Amino acid sequence: MKPIKLFIEECAKSGQVILAGSLVFLGLLSAATGSATPPTPLLQYTFDDGSGAVNANDTGVPPPAVGLFSGSATRTSNTPNGSGYALDVTTAGVNDYVHCGDPAKLDNSTTLSNAVTLTAWVNLQAAAVAKDRFMSKISTTGGFDLYFNNSSATSVNLDFNVNTTSGGCFSSAINMSQQWVFVAVTYNATQTANNVLFYTGGTNTTATLLNTASLANGLIKNSTNEFRVGSTAASSSDRTPPAWIDDVRIYDSVLSPVDLETVRAQGGFPSPLTFIVQPSGATVYANTNLTLTATPNAAISFEQWYFNGTNLANALSGATNSTLILSNLNSGMTGTYSLFASNSSGVAWSSGAVVTVVPLFKTAQMTNIWNILPGDTNHFYITTTAGGERGLTFNPTTTNLLMVTHVPTNNLVVLDPATGNQKYFMNVGGIATNGAAINMVGVAGDGAVYSGNVVANAGSASTPYMLWQWADDSTNTTADLLFDGDPGYGTAAAGLRWGDSFAVCGAGSSTEILIAPGATATGAGTNVVLFTTLDGLNFSPTVIGIAGVPSGFGQGGVAFGPGTNTLWAKDTGQQLYLVQFDPINATGAVLYAYGPSNNVPNTFQFISVNRSQNWLAGVMSVASGLPDNVRLYDVASLTNGPVLADLETNLTSNLNGFNGGVGVGSTAFGGNYLFSLDSQNGVRAFLLSTNVAPFNLASATPLAGPAVALTWQSLPGFTYQVQAAASLLNPLWSNAGTAVTASGATASATISTPGTNQFYRVLGQ
């Protein structure tokens, strides 16, 4: 008989996830607003008025702004599509252009204030000189301007500006030498970032986005200077590029990629059907909604979504639109989605969007009993303000829940742990009311309350780290200042950021306070500081250097670990560390490091520990506008690593991107409760059930031949996956058999070909 070694681990898949209740749009949705027929331009010069005409008729919206030829400006029969005429301003050293004065329709008295789109065809016949104008109606106080900003014929950049003659933004390099190129630029004055988009195309290539740029010049103001093609009224110098220019257009809106491709194709160039926006895949939790978008470059006559190569027309409503909404996702919807489209130009397939649906891991271990969400009128300090809520702790002597808030000012709020109802505010007199004068909070076993501030550079005399103590959490007790300075003074940890993480243990003269610094370029964030006291009133810091950890390893949360002189530490993007430290020699080293392979996501942080019950909790905070989740781990076995006991998704999905994008928050244990604070998403409380049986692999029964039957305790309706490994030293787990959905209190699976000396675990999904 082959020996069978058994142990159990519950875990959920990790990685970037989209959590329950979210509706996520993937793809550049703005492109989907385009139409087969763009709006009529404010102004349009085709230059097809005849070889001897001295004017350029305006075919844009009335009234027409007739263009007058100036200098040596003339026409050429060299055009993008080989018919009609184009503007010829190739005479060297001469200021040649077409101008139309100051028509009202190009002022913001109409709609040309919030947005503008400029399009044209251009063919450089020689090297352009910096500041040669493409088209311009600019002054130092208003208008718009499009010009060349370098002097190479084969590598030209376009510069765009509004309301000033300097400091514009420019496109990526474009080769316009001896060839017709379609160029376009759009400007959205209501935005300040990535509000300028440059596009380019050709006679046989579609119009595509070249690059984006930012221009914080606001609404387009009026300029009394005249509009010119091939020059500018803002300068008397020669500003004419040696170029042929055709089909100049000005729009008073931001044209979409679809619209711009239609403009390009209107010159007589059929558009090969393609997708200018491809659908993007994602890893998502079950029971969520996901929207996939694929945008063709032109009007289409037929479109159809496919899933793993199978037509979805009969399986999913809306499968014949460019936008596909996947509702209430389940594991059977994992796969590749693609869109097929056709029109008179041909057919095209979008790229495949790979969607992975992760089953939600929810047990009866945590039961949500109350929530305080942003906007709750009874808790005015719970808001969507970035970093508005900070620290959270439970007082075992009073059974009060304490929370630090920064809205509208710094405060310590006392809450009823069973209901979340506000009881009163603690006394913060003598502590600054602005900034982060108090941040994280902890309570010792004797009921004394401790809190510290956040400082980015504790080495600065004006920004010391300050540690405060309240003898209890009553409304009248005032705070005493225990420490004021740089906790890393005189060591490699001097001048660091302190206060993002905070832990307290012990009582009275045995009270210990632990803080960890933020990451630094020099790596000095590999230290922690342990505050100790001989009388419970005077505290001194000891800087402890930790070997084998990255800088900032504990910025996302620290907690005292099992036994004596151990600590847990976590920061976003890093592993969960269990560290043994020596306070006498001020050294420490990693005992264990747990990462995604142990089902601890990189974005898990804000940790706390219940040492008596071997619980570790924290928040998976993705800091990207997606919902977060609260996770509870069993850490009884340090060798096997954290075992996920339960997972609860957040009720709101506000961006927690404070503190450099990593977010702020806290968790705390108290009695049979677990409390979670996820800034901008409120505070939640969970009752930890003592009636949930441990999740154990109950039996392994050898069957005929090499097969073995495994049985484990389960919850009806939940899905489980058996995994196997040949060793527990750096194990490489692989699925053994298929997933099993339990129908009762036990579930089982048969492994037909178990390996020699095999280890098994079951993942609750």
**Segments making up each domain of the chain, as ranges:** 23-32+273-358, 39-254, 392-688, 693-764
Question: Where residue 27 falls among pLDDT bands split at 50, 70, 90?
Answer: very low
**Span 392-688: which CATH code?**
2.120.10.30
Report how far residue 640's alpha carbon sits from residue 759's, in angstroms, rounded to the nearest whole number: 12
Please give the pLDDT value at position 23: 33
Q: C-alpha angle with apex 118: 112 to 121, nearest 5 degrees?
A: 160
Q: Which of 646, 634, 642 minimizes the C-alpha distance to 684?
A: 646
User: Which token pair is 558?
Assistant: 């620290």
**CATH number of the domain at 23-32+273-358, please?**
2.60.40.10
30-39, 110-119, 580-589, range with greatest mean pLDDT: 580-589
Q: Look at residue 723 and tell me whether its pLDDT is greater than 80.
A: no
CB within 8 Å of 208: residues ≥ 6 apart: 199, 200, 201, 257, 276
The pLDDT of residue 756: 61
Q: Specify the pLDDT at position 631.
A: 93
The Cβ of residue 64 has, within 10 Å, a number of other Cβ atoms equal to: 15
* The predicted structure's pLDDT at residue 765: 52
Place of tokens 């590598």: 155
pLDDT band at 475; cut points 50, 70, 90:
very high
Q: What is the pLDDT of residues 201-215, one digit of tens each?
A: 998 888 889 999 999
Which residues, listed in sequence order, are joined to residue 285 by a DSSP beta bridge?
358
Cβ–Cβ under 8 Å, residues 658 and 623: no
Pairing of strands 346-349, 335-343: antiparallel
Q: Cα(695)–Cα(12) distance, rounded to whole angstroms?
A: 14
Cβ proximity of 284 and 18 under 8 Å: yes
pLDDT at residue number 755: 63
E strands, 111-242, are 115-124, 133-138, 143-148, 158-162, 169-170, 181-188, 196-202, 208-213, 228-229
Q: Sorting pLDDT into bands at 50, 70 and 90, what band is 17?
A: very low
Residue 418's pLDDT is what? Answer: 94
CB–CB of 722/428 below 8 Å? Answer: no
> Among 224-228, 688-692, 739-743, which stretch is predicted with the lowest mean pLDDT?
688-692
Give the sign of the dihedral formed by CA 332, CA 333, CA 336, CA 341.
positive
Is residue 697's pLDDT more than 80? no
Fold of the 39-254 domain: Jelly Rolls (2.60.120)
How far apart (Å, rounded) are the C-alpha atoms in residues 456 and 497? 4
**191-200 long-range contacts, CB within 8 A, separation 24+:** 192/216, 196/160, 196/169, 197/254, 198/158, 198/160, 198/171, 198/172, 199/257, 199/260, 200/171, 200/174
CA-angle at 524, arms to 518 and 526, nearest 5°: 70
| Cβ 518 vs Cβ 552: under 8 Å | yes
Q: Is the pLDDT of residue 394 over 90?
A: yes
Report how far apart, in Å, the C-alpha atoms of 115 and of each of 108, 303, 407 are.
Answer: 10, 32, 37
List the Cα angle 423/619/523 in 5-degree steps: 115
Q: What is the tens place of the pLDDT at every residue in 277-329?
A: 899 988 777 777 889 999 887 778 888 999 998 899 877 888 888 899 998 88
